[in-house]
Amino acid sequence: MDFTLYNTLTRRKELFKPLRPGMAGIYTCGPTVYLYAHIGNMRTYVFEDGLVRSLKFLGFGVKRVMNITDVGHLVSDADTGEDKMELGARREGKSAWDIAKFYTEAFFKDFKALNCLMPEVLCPATDYIKEMTDLVAALEKKGFTYRIADGIYFDTAKLPDYGKLAGKSHIEGIREGARVEVNAEKRNPADFALWKFSAPEEKRQMEWPSPWGTGFPGWHLECSAMAMRHLGETIDIHCGGEDHVAVHHTNEIAQSEAATGKPFANYWLHGRFLIMGDTGKMSKSAGGFLTVSSLPEKGYDPLAYRYYCFQTHYRKQLEFTWTGVEAAARGLDGLRSLAGRLKEEVAGPVPAADRGAKYFQDFSLALADDVNLPEAMAVLWETLKDHSIPAPRRLAFALAAEEVLALDLFAEKKGGELPAELSALIKEREAARKAKDFKRSDELRKALSDKGVLIEDTPKGTTWKHTRG
């Protein structure tokens, strides 16, 4: 089946042709681990997981590489301001290394709670300093670099197609200095740091010797160095959020292609942002953001957020509201009930999924059409409700679809004994719901969730499961 992807580089949908037949090499920009990831970041990771799983579903082998930015990402994308890691260390009175460790673990806890598959290769930037300085040396040899007081910079004027990813008008804006803060010493406003020197009066926690002086890598450098180290000089697919188009990915392309003379990535995929319904943009540096743990705190299964993300195509902006999460949670419950009932109904072995059936084809076509998960979910809903299809076949299809959607459609409700105090709260909540006292019932849902018990209302009544292990 033809797989088409929307390529930011060419601004159109293209047939996906991997460099090695049947095998997709994917690089996805990972988290900057100085703080918790917010649910906006997680939208991008859920989209990337949908892409990886869709490729696997359609028969591709996948090698996904993801970096962990644990050094060098400065507060401003214009290579100025403090290193976010050092900022985190100061904020929490810990070492930058401890901050990186703590938030890397927190990130993967959230990543797994959303059923994202672990990448085949994970690479913390601080493990690849050698690859990065080698890349700077290669660029220096080819004449793309120059030195100013605070570091070694890339001369964007030396690369004729600099900025091709973001488009001409945008780059003209950068050239005029509209988008990046101007460092008077830079030759061109768009030039960016490859290697930054530790300031003479400063003792950084993270710094390394280099042929140019002690310092640390520029943020963009890590992705180029690690992507090429693990996937070769040209990679198939490179992903990230839309904010990366203008600066980060533009500069990754510049330094990689200047060094190798080859295309860096053949397909560039960008997820649009999650925005907050009332406050607009969600960002880590602005503070006051929601994390994956905010979901169980409000009594929701984190996978309701995965479902929520899949209801909107990744190239459309998604507005976050709690009403939307509530609707997604209900949708997820409904889908789980349908799947659960089918499992009860079908006694004996489950047949193979009927890959030739129209619903199976429609589902696959949706995935192959630029990862159209909203459409794939609609096909699943319709098929599970269609009694003209024999139940065993519907069950087989749901099991196959679960490989892509990963919504725990067949999760056993975790039952068992609850302490009397908690059972009493559940009973009280059921009574409140019957009496249509939703305010009280929500309070009780929250109280139970604070104690690690997640409530689900199903057609058969209220069920519960533990949220913490």
Site for ligand AMP, rule CB under 6 A? 29, 31-32, 40-41, 43-44, 69, 240-241, 243-244, 271, 273-274, 282, 284
Q: Please, which residue, 26 or 29, has the CB nearer to Zn ion?
A: 29
Q: How far is the CB of 67 from ligand AMP (least distance, A)?
A: 9
Nearest approach, Cβ of residue 29 and ligand AMP (Å): 5
Q: Strands 80-83, 280-281: parallel, antiparallel or unpaired by DSSP?
A: unpaired
Q: Measured at CB, which residue is nearest to ligand AMP?
A: 241
Are β-strands 4-7 and 12-15 bridged in parallel, bridged antiparallel, or unpaired?
antiparallel
Q: What share of the chain is helix, strand, coil (3-state, %, to 5)?
A: 45, 20, 35
Query: x-or-dash pattern for Zn ion, window 8-47, by CB under 5 A?
Result: ---------------------x------------------
380 vs 359: CA distance, rounded Å: 8
Report the 10 Å Cβ neighbour count for 337.
16
Locate 92 and state its tokens: 């929490």
Residues facing 29 on adjacent strands: none
Tokens of 364: 């696959």
Tell me which amino acid residue 236 is: D
Q: Which of 171/223 has CB closer to ligand AMP?
A: 223
Q: How far is the CB of 223 from ligand AMP (least distance, A)?
A: 10
401 is in the binding site of which of Zn ion, ligand AMP, none (Cβ under 5 to 8 A by kind)? none
- The count of residues interacting with Zn ion (CB under 5 A) is 2
Q: What are phi and psi of 275, to 5 degrees?
A: -120, 155
Secondary structure (3-state) at 236: strand
Q: Which does 256 bind (CB under 5 to 8 A by kind): Zn ion, ligand AMP, none?
A: none
Compare residues 97 and 146 and give the one whose CB is closer to ligand AMP. 97
Q: Minimal distance in Å, beta carbon 334 to Zn ion?
A: 38
Q: Which helix (H) or strand (E) holds 46?
A: helix 39-57
For residues 189 and 240, which CB has a smaller minimum distance to ligand AMP in the complex? 240
Q: Is residue 223 within the footprint of Zn ion (CB under 5 A)? A: yes
Q: How far is the CB of 2 from ligand AMP (least distance, A)?
A: 27
In angstroms, the CA 197 to CA 215 distance is 4
From Zn ion, ligand AMP, none, which one binds at residue 43 (CB under 5 to 8 Å depending on kind)? ligand AMP
Q: Which does 145 bind (CB under 5 to 8 A by kind): ligand AMP, Zn ion, none?
A: none
Beta bridge partners of 152: 147, 195
314 or 363: CB nearest ligand AMP: 314
Nearer to Zn ion, 50 or 72 (CB): 72
Q: Which does 274 bind (CB under 5 to 8 A by kind): ligand AMP, Zn ion, none?
A: ligand AMP
- Where do the DSSP E strands lie in 407-467? 453-458, 461-466
Instruction: Name which of 40 and 296 has its Cβ closer to ligand AMP.
Output: 40
d(CA 310, CA 333): 15
Nearer to Zn ion, 134 or 362 (CB): 134
Stretch that binds Zn ion, among 169-177, 222-230, 353-361, 419-427 (CB under 5 A): 222-230
For 61, list phi and psi in degrees, rounded to 5: -80, 145
Q: Which residue number, 335 or 373, has a Cβ lying nearer to ligand AMP?
A: 373
In the list ligand AMP, Zn ion, none, the entry touching 223 (Cβ below 5 to 8 angstroms by class) is: Zn ion
CB of 123 to ligand AMP, least distance (A): 14
Two tokens, residue 269: 């995929």
Q: In DSSP terms, which residues pair with 14 in a beta bridge?
A: 5
In whole angstroms, the minimum distance from the beta carbon of 93 to ligand AMP comes to 22
- d(CA 469, CA 312) in angstroms, rounded, equals 30
Measured from the CB atom, the residue of 195 and 320 that comes closer to ligand AMP is 320
Shortest distance, position 47 Cβ to ligand AMP, whole Å: 8
Provide the CA 129 distance to its chain's centre, in angstroms.
24
DSSP E strand boundaries for 332-447: none
Those residues with Cβ within 8 angstroms of residue 372's Cβ, 6 or more apart along the chain or in another chain:
313, 366
Strands 274-276 and 280-281, sheet pairing = antiparallel
User: What's the sign of the alpha-carbon dihedral 429, 456, 275, 31?
Assistant: positive
- Among ligand AMP, Zn ion, none, partner that 41 touches (CB below 5 to 8 angstroms by kind): ligand AMP
Q: Confirm or reject binding of residue 237 to Zn ion (CB under 5 A).
A: no
Could you tell me the smallest distance in angstroms from the CB atom of residue 26 to Zn ion?
12
Backbone angles phi, psi at 300, to 5 degrees: -105, 145
Contact between 351 and 342 under an 8 Å Cβ cutoff? The reply is no
Contacting positions for Zn ion (CB under 5 A): 29, 223
